Chain A
Amino acid sequence: MESTMIGTKTINGYIKRLRSLDRESLQQDIELRVEKARDVFEIIVANDLAKIGMVLLAIFLIVGLFAPVIAPHEPNERQTNDQGDWLRGEDPSITYPMGTTDNAHDIFSQVVFGTRVALMAGMLTALMVGGLGTFAGIIAGYSGGYTETAIMRIVDLAYGVPFLPFAIVLVIVLGANLWNIVLAISLILWRETARVVRSEVLSIRELADIESAKASGASDTRIILYHIFPKVLPTAVLYSVFAIGWAILAEAGLSFLGFSDHEMVSWGSMLQAAYNGQALDQSMWWWIFPPGICISLLVISVYLISQGIEEVVNPHLREV
């Protein structure tokens, strides 16, 4: 009787200690993670180019967010003079900082609103590519066997598809709008993420802590979520960021070819209008330069940031 009493007491005490230990280790764990996140951020910020990229991107984000406030006119509003005549092909002036198109649209306002389309295309694609690619890569690398072969065959397939023509076909079939463009781009771009994540998972699988987690009976889901996912995250993020760049360029290209939502003004559709509107022959440089420079700058900002992230993923790139 007495011995069981002591036994219960000891067990209770033990459980209590375990709980407090757990809490402590949890707190340590959180601290460790916060510290790690700070380290990662420091590595990225230590790269001057990445810093410049962040500032650039922030500017575009602000412009995109406050487009209606910043833009003096509606992007598709005809600009007229006092007599009610259309102001076609006006030179840049104080009223129209980037001039007007041959259809009397204010170019500055169009550029400002175009930021939204580019940012949306980039970020939505990054989410889809990151999600789909990481998922496929982890499943392929972790499960192996037929599942892996099947997924990698699909990846091979995606590598064999000509990117822009496929996007064109898909957009024709599904309808020309931003969502379908994003979908079409993502259906191709996930391949790279999947391939890289898979090969990383293959080497992670061999690590000791995975073995020990398996031995202690952890479920596959748990192993993937707690042991594998955190390790492939930097790579997944890096390739998602690359996808932003690809997506913005691809969206611009598709819009330039005329495969876009005509209600939405994008930088690519502006260039299409300029090209078809004889901007070249009329030397309307103010119509040609701003949209192109904006595409470049936005993509540059993304790639500059990716340089910093790459230093997290690949320590060889860090300067000592």
Chain B
Amino acid sequence: MNTKKYILKRIVSTVATFFAIATIIFFLFRMVGDPASLFMSPGMGGEQLERIRSSFGLNDPLYVQYYRYMVNIVTLDFGVSFYYQSSTGPIVIERMINSLFLTMPAILLAYVFGSIGGVVMAWRRGEPLERVGLLGAIIFRSTPRFWLGIILLFVFAGILGWFPSFGMLSQDIEFRGHLALLLEPDFYHHIILPIASMTFYLMGLPLLLMRTSMLEVINEDFVDVCIAKGLTQREVMFKHVARNALLPVVTAFAVGIAFSFGGNVLVETVFSYPGVGRLMVDSVFRSDYPVAQMSFLMMAAVVLTMNFLADLTYFYLDPRVKAE
């Protein structure tokens, strides 16, 4: 299979998967009957409820609703948010980018350090260092992100007072777009703790996976040949064993992003960070149906895109895939 065909095939299946997920979400919300009832609060009168109904188009037949829903997805227009009283798209996209700013550094740090740690653990097989690493990896994986976040807040924001305890920016600093945000030191001051609590949790998986994968590759004949070639241990480990062992870790990277992105809700909640996960949960509580729905779909889109990119990376890293 040539590269172009492979990429095209993956794009098609990614898009198809996205629409399948969108369909599931559509029916899931309608499974319980009237979605408006989910968002009904005691103060709402019959007139308001009717307005919600008609704004959803709930009096139309299901297929019309489904069609409209799909059109909405394609045009990235989910109508007006009940809570914000403005178009849903820009709100969700802004929060989305906020979340990406949090997730990307965390996951990159986790996988880079996790992979290197896994190499070292496999290299130092049987030594106390391996044991410590193994135990560390398990502890990282087992500690809930949100709890670690609370502890970090408690110690570094509360007791020591080194970091701010909530939000993305201090209250006296105005948000002026995402580019300006990247140049704002105050922003970095705010995201260090949330990124730390995510990174530690996310690092467990690559550590363990890389170690396992390395231990499998180390037994291959070509490793003996590499040593026989006179390469240093470091060269053999990093250039050959790790390079081969990386493949399953790349797959995990994709799944890791999916997990991490969904799990952002927790860290965003602890640090009151204006991310898309938090937005979805808030919208659910506020009965802001359009925003909740679009937030979910945006997250799914990111997860799928990441899976797609990871597949491409895998394709690039393993010459054998290309041959198939």
Contact = CB atoms under 8 A, between A and B. Distances in A.
Contact of A161 (B135, B142, B303): B303
B199 to A, nearest CB: 16
B277 interface: yes
Contact of B144 (A172, A275, A292, A316): A292
A84 interface: no
Contacts of B175: none
Interface in B259-305: 259, 261-263, 265-266, 269-270, 277, 280-281, 284, 295-296, 299-300, 302-304
Given A161-B21, A173-B29, A317-B215, A303 B269 contact: no
Contact of A296 (B142, B146, B259, B296): B142
User: Which residue, B25, B147, B284, has most C-beta atoms of chain A within 10 A?
Assistant: B147
B151 interface: yes
A300 B140 CA distance: 9
A25 interface: no
Given A257-B281, A317-B215, A304 B300 contact: no
A21 B299 CA distance: 62
A166 interface: yes
Interface stretch (B12-20, B42-50, B77-85): B12-20
A274 B149 CA distance: 13
Contacts of A226: none
A162 B25 contact: no
B102 to A, nearest CB: 15
Interface residues of B, number: 62
A291 B144 CA distance: 11
Q: Which of A249, A274, A304, A310 has the most C-beta atoms of chain B within 10 angstroms of its own C-beta?
A: A249
Nearest to B293: A169
Interface string A51-68: 000000000000000000
Contacts of B32: 173
Given A162-B258, A162-B300, A314-B216, A304 B265 contact: no
Residue of A162, A296, A317 with most partner-chain B CB within 10 A:
A162
B222 to A, nearest CB: 15
A280 interface: yes
B139 A296 contact: yes
Contacts of A168: 265, 280-281, 284
Contact of B307 (A49, A159, A283): A159
B156 to A, nearest CB: 12
B296 A303 contact: no
A295 interface: yes
A162 B303 contact: yes
B286 to A, nearest CB: 13
Interface of A: 49, 153, 156-157, 159-166, 168-170, 172-173, 192, 245, 249, 252-253, 256-257, 268, 271, 274-275, 280-281, 283, 285, 288-289, 291-292, 295-297, 299-300, 302-304, 307, 310, 314, 316-317, 319
Given A160-B303, A256-B266, A316-B215, 17 more contacts: A153-B17, A157-B17, A157-B20, A160-B21, A163-B262, A164-B277, A165-B265, A165-B277, A192-B255, A245-B141, A253-B144, A253-B266, A275-B270, A288-B151, A295-B144, A296-B142, A297-B142
Interface of B: 13-14, 17-18, 20-21, 24-25, 28-29, 31-32, 38, 125-126, 131, 134-135, 138-139, 141-148, 150-151, 153-154, 158-159, 165, 212, 215-216, 219, 254-255, 258-259, 261-263, 265-266, 269-270, 277, 280-281, 284, 295-296, 299-300, 302-304, 307
